[in-house]
Chains A and B, each alone.
Chain A
Amino acid sequence: LAKTTQPISMDSYEGQEVNITCSHNNIATNDYITWYQQFPSQGPRFIIQGYKTKVTNEVASLFIPADRKSSTLSLPRVSLSDTAVYYCLVGEGGNAGNMLTFGGGTRLMVKP
């Protein structure tokens, strides 16, 4: 199972770009990298997913280097409402029970 390592917490200010890096040295060939966001008192919500290079949607960008041993979630121009916990997931595949294995996440605090 590909374990992930990400910073426990980060602080930022409104309007700044935030980059959260996740390490996953044991990622397997078929694994995708997925990021979820969780606000207080809510369930996690899917943000973005990628396999290699760069993926961008209306919320974030995901940068994955060629060796895929890490990934970076980029949130452009954060606002106070982006304060949340961000989880990086890397699945083993082939077993639904491993599909959604969450680590501790990164607690992002956006300050005014």
Chain B
Amino acid sequence: DAGITQSPRHKVTETGTPVTLRCHQTENHRYMYWYRQDPGHGLRLIHYSYGVKDTDKGEVSDGYSVSRSKTEDFLLTLESATSSQTSVYFCAISESWQMNTEAFFGQGTRLTVV
């Protein structure tokens, strides 16, 4: 299995508090992604990174920010958590952006905002 670690794996937080999720990889892959998965919506891209300090928005980026100060770490921050951000969050990595490249996913972080 690809070396991807998401932390924490589970978190319960209160509305209005900031939350940071971490994705750590040991594969030295250039691209990293954050997705959220909700019933009825499949996986939706939040943000992605194509290098250190290079990030861009995905389909559902409102309310989220990201940072990548090192190749191996990609952080997702909810500045002020809301109940609508209760979801399962997945991190993914890939060597290239091209479609003929396999992407590897982490085990997910289940976040509950109460």
- Measuring CB to CB, which residues of chain A are less than 8 angstroms from any residue of chain B? 30-32, 34, 41-46, 49, 51, 87, 89-91, 93-97, 99-105
Distance (whole angstroms) from the CB of B47 to the closest CB of chain A: 9
Interfacial residues, chain B to chain A (CB-CB below 8 A): 31, 33, 35, 40-45, 48, 50, 56-59, 90, 92, 94, 97-108
Report chain B residues within 8 Å CB of A93: 97-99
A30 contacts across to B, CB distance below 8 A: 99
Expressed in whole angstroms, the Cα–Cα distance for A103 and B90 within the complex equals 15
Question: SS class of chain B's interface: helix, strand, loop or mixed?
Answer: strand
Give which listed residue, B43, B92, B102, contacts A49 with CB less than 8 A.
B102
Is the Cβ of A96 less than 8 Å from the Cβ of B50?
A: yes
> How many Å lie between the Cα of A101 and that of B46 in the bound state?
11
A96 contacts across to B, CB distance below 8 A: 31, 48, 50, 56, 97
Query: Chain B residues with Cβ under 8 A from A102's Cβ?
Result: 35, 42-44
Check A105–B42 contact: CB distance below 8 A: yes
Contact A95 B97 (CB under 8 A): yes
> If A42-B108, A43-B92, A97-B56 touch, does A91 touch B45 (CB 8 Å cutoff)?
no
Q: How far apart are the CA atoms of A32 and B107 in the complex, in Å?
A: 25
Most buried by A among B40, B50, B98, B107: B98
Contact, CB under 8 Å: A103 / B94: no
